[in-house]
Amino acid sequence: MGYSSKISDPAFDRYLRNTRNWKFQFSLILAAIAIGGFYLYGAFSDEMDNPEALRIGLVIGAMFLLIGLMSAKSRNRASWDGVVIDKKVRRTDKQTIYTVYIKSETGKVHERRFEDDTTVFNYFKKGDKVRFHGKLNSYEKFDKSGDDIIFCNACAFLHYITEDVCIKCGCPLLK
């Protein structure tokens, strides 16, 4: 029982750095496609000519870059401890929504919602003590002794509790 000290493992920082780099590179690719696509459209279309088409492509490309920069911005959320206070299931015509309510030590209630998937919903029990890891935007249970599964706090990949390292991202499992 207890929170893992492995949260300070350098693999988590490497994972976050690689994720930020991938997000920014993806936005660069989308921006280049938008600019090139509109330029070609202006060059070969009878509906719009360059430089008007190129300007539209530049604006859309700049939006992709801005979105990429904002999503790649590092997370500086604080970590906090809390307790699972409630769990609810709501059914609609199209889906079932599973919600876990966690109350932080400051009294704020946080919701984790899952659509049509009970895996994480069933992982948490009312009364479980949890720690929110801000930089990873994930939760770690205090008592994992009765669990058969564990989620990677970096990429959320599901593992058996006997495993030590995530096979998907290489980060240590917090157990």
Taking only the tens of pLDDT, the chain with its 175 residues reads 899 999 999 999 999 999 888 988 999 999 999 999 999 999 999 899 999 999 999 999 999 999 988 887 766 689 999 999 999 999 999 999 999 999 999 999 999 999 998 999 999 999 999 999 998 999 999 999 999 999 999 999 999 999 999 999 999 999 9
How far, in Å, CA of 113 to CA of 73, rounded? 24
Residues with Cβ within 8 Å of 53's Cβ and at least 6 positions away in sequence, in order, are: 38, 39, 41, 42, 43, 45
Contact 139, 132 (CB under 8 A): yes
Q: Whole-model pTM above 0.85?
A: no
How far, in Å, CA of 71 to CA of 111, rounded? 22
Residues with Cβ within 8 Å of 1's Cβ and at least 6 positions away in sequence, in order, are: 142, 143, 144, 145
Q: What is the pLDDT of residue 68?
A: 87
Q: What is the pLDDT of residue 77?
A: 83
Q: What is the pLDDT of residue 75?
A: 65
CA dihedral 154, 156, 159, 165 (to 10 degrees): -10
